[in-house]
Amino acid sequence: MTPKQRMINALSFKPIDRIPLIEWPIRGSTMKAWIKQGYPEGMDAEVYFNLDPYYIGIPINLAMHPSFEPKVLEEDDIYKIWRDELGAVRKDFKIIENEGFITRSWLSFYVSNQATFRKMTDRYNSADVTRLPLDFAEQAQAINNSDVANHLCIPFLFWAVRDWVGFESLCMMFYDKPSLVHEMFEFLTDFVIKTLKPVIHLLDIDLVELKEDMAYKHAPMISPEMFRTFMYPHYVKLISFLKCNGVKLVYVDCDGYPGGLIPLWIEAGVDAMSPTEIAAGNNIDQLQKEHPSFGLFGGIDKRELAKDKRAVYNMVATLPRYIEKGGFIPHVDHAIPHDVPLENYKYFRKLMAKIACGGSIGSFEGK
């Protein structure tokens, strides 16, 4: 099977020759640590770890455009206060110790009311020709003909509006300014559809990712009732548009524990979620039992990878029963932290290659 066929069939609960062997891109601080441990600097991770290609990105820009010009407002030897590309004012360390795992501190956000929101909409012009490359038709044909699954990323409702107003402000707006939240969510949905409508016929889209990140470690950031009121109609509208135009699968990117949101996602037409963080309380057995036709990316506990090879072995030994049920594509349940030793991760990949085709990892050898 091609990587495309394998990916689509796996998430569609159809027969596969083996599970896809994929991983998220390696973050900068993790790669720096691994280079010190012997990783050949400059080598592509897919080659080094013998991974399958994850996907080909579809070059449609659905984010803010133009973005704000970053500007430093104040700074000293340790911190800088600056306006970022999304218009938010932040206080950050000047020296980034852990590249790819930055802790941010926000001071203010661009949107605070209806007037500033409507001014923000100027940066979401669906007719902006620069949202597509000049040779988009040619690129679309090449993407369609590839044997690797293609992927369209959509920064959607909770994700985008949180960037505009801030997390705490958005949570308060559901109560204090519900009409504004409705207006912002409706605008975003219409913007995505209007941008895609003239060109979606050129594409044979395999995967659409709705970026949301609307869950904490043990609970979602929005209740199921509020999701149904504020977000569900827009999910139905967008997903109906996508699938009526041939999109095969739609999944939600949501860190943390989404819990009671999952049934509503499924009801709205969502096919899968990523990255199924075990540290947040997601349980693969429970999810597969409660939602037997819902696909899962991730599910590999990054904390276990940081321990020792016995812990890695024990974790991988649990995976065949999940894989057998279909719809499960295992990879680390978010970015790989820099405290995961290279040797542990190499051992993990060795075991994953053994079980990919339904094979046995044998007994633990302590090597």
Complete DSSP assignment for 13-56: T---SS-----PPPPHHHHHHHHHTT--TT--HHHHTTPPP--E
Asked if the model's pLDDT at residue 147 lies above 80, the reply is yes
- 221 phi and psi angles, rounded to 5 deg: -80, -10
Cα dist. 63→16, 67, 80, 258, 272 in Å? 35, 9, 25, 24, 22
Structure token digits, residue 64: 């803010």
- Nearest alpha carbon to residue 357 among 21, 14, 7, 11: 21
Strand ranges in 173-301 using DSSP code E only, listed in sequence order: 207-211, 249-253, 272-274, 295-300
Q: With beta carbons less than 8 A apart as the criterion, state whether 306 and 279 touch.
A: no
Contacts of residue 279, defined as CB under 8 A and 6 or more positions apart, other chains included, come to: 217, 301, 302, 303, 333
- Nearest alpha carbon to residue 277 among 255, 253, 252: 255
Order of strands, edge to edge, in the sheet holding 106-108?
71-75, 79-83, 89-93, 106-108
Structure token digits, residue 192: 């995505």
Round to the nearest angstrom and report the end-to-end CA distance of the chain. Answer: 32
* Percentage with pLDDT > 70 across the chain: 99
pLDDT-based confidence at residue 365 (cuts at 50, 70, 90): confident
Parts of the chain belonging to CATH 3.20.20.210: 3-67+113-355
Q: For residues 307 and 5, give the distance between their C-alpha atoms in angstroms, rounded to a whole number.
A: 35
Strands 89-93 and 106-108 come out as antiparallel
Q: For residues 221 and 169, give the distance between their C-alpha atoms in angstroms, rounded to a whole number.
A: 13
Cis peptide before 66 (omega within 30 of 0): yes
Query: Residue range 2-27: average pLDDT?
Result: 97
* Percentage with pLDDT > 90 across the chain: 93
Q: For residues 332 and 60, give the distance between their C-alpha atoms in angstroms, rounded to a whole number.
A: 27
80 beta partners: 75, 92
Q: With beta carbons less than 8 A apart as the criterion, state whether 78 and 93 touch.
A: yes
pLDDT digits (tens, 9 = 90+) for 312-324: 999 999 999 999 9
Contacts of residue 19, defined as CB under 8 A and 6 or more positions apart, other chains included, come to: 6, 10, 323, 328, 329, 330, 355, 356
Strands 295-300 and 150-155 come out as unpaired
Asked if the model's pLDDT at residue 329 lies above 70, the reply is yes
Handedness of CA 251, 254, 255, 259 (dihedral sign): negative
Domain spanning 3-67+113-355 has what CATH number?
A: 3.20.20.210
Burial class of 139 by CB neighbour count within 10 A (0 to 12, 13 to 18, 19+): middle
- Between vectors from CA 217 to CA 211 and to CA 223, what angle results, nearest 5°? 65
Q: For residues 334 and 348, give the distance between their C-alpha atoms in angstroms, rounded to a whole number.
A: 15
**pTM for this prediction:** 0.95
Q: With beta carbons less than 8 A apart as the criterion, state whether 170 and 188 touch.
A: no
- Rounded mean pLDDT of the chain? 96
pLDDT-based confidence at residue 359 (cuts at 50, 70, 90): confident
Burial class of 129 by CB neighbour count within 10 A (0 to 12, 13 to 18, 19+): exposed
pLDDT value of position 95: 78
pLDDT digits (tens, 9 = 90+) for 64-118: 999 999 999 999 989 999 999 999 999 998 877 777 667 788 999 999 999 999 9
